[in-house]
Amino acid sequence: MGYDYDRLYGETPDALGPPSREFVDFFGRYDLPGARILDLGCGQGRDALFLARAGHHVVGVDIAPNGIRDLLAVAAKEGLPIEGIVGDIVSFKPEGTFDVILIDRTLHMLDRDPRNRVLEGLLDHVGAGGWMLIADEETNIPDFERAMVQHEASWAVEYRKPGYLFARRS
């Protein structure tokens, strides 16, 4: 990781601000209560906290211990269903399947091959009818679409605009 997010999180509460409008809008329409969601690269929890407050069960993974510390402190204070894991997304292996996997501006921090391997490894962990929600550099999105096309399951891109790819597994 080129930027020291752990230091940023250690010095700055809510360093990355509120959730992205695209994610807020998506979950405003999402109709599965109590969904199991993986937030990969969750930082201090700007997305994970929003999702848990909406009644979902969230597993947040980040390489920055200070980010996970902050996430878990808020979750404990508010009684939110969040599991926080300090881990490197390259070597992290999720357990089971999720209704939604959310990756908010994290994959671009990796070189192309590891970035694509991480995404390919996650596709099997989205349950049937589940969602992969990605916000990332626009130049990376075509690789993500290719990974979904080549995956053994069928994926339908439901939302695509510069820097965003939301796809549903059939």
Separation CA 30–CA 146 (nearest Å):
25
Closest CA to 21 of 164, 141, 140, 168: 164
- Helices 112-123, 141-150: axis angle to 10 degrees equals 40
Specify the pLDDT at position 3: 85
Separation CA 71–CA 149 (nearest Å):
34
Asked if the model's pLDDT at residue 12 lies above 60, the reply is yes
Specify the pLDDT at position 134: 98
pLDDT tens digits for 99-146?
Answer: 999 999 999 999 999 999 999 999 999 999 999 999 999 999 999 999
Domain count, the chain: 1
> Tokens 């510390």 map to which residue?
69
CATH code at 111?
A: 3.40.50.150
Specify the pLDDT at position 57: 98
Specify the pLDDT at position 80: 98
pLDDT tens digits for 55-82?
Answer: 999 999 999 999 999 999 999 999 999 9
Specify the pLDDT at position 59: 98
Task: For residue 116, give its domain range.
Answer: 5-169
Asked if the model's pLDDT at residue 1 lies above 70, the reply is no
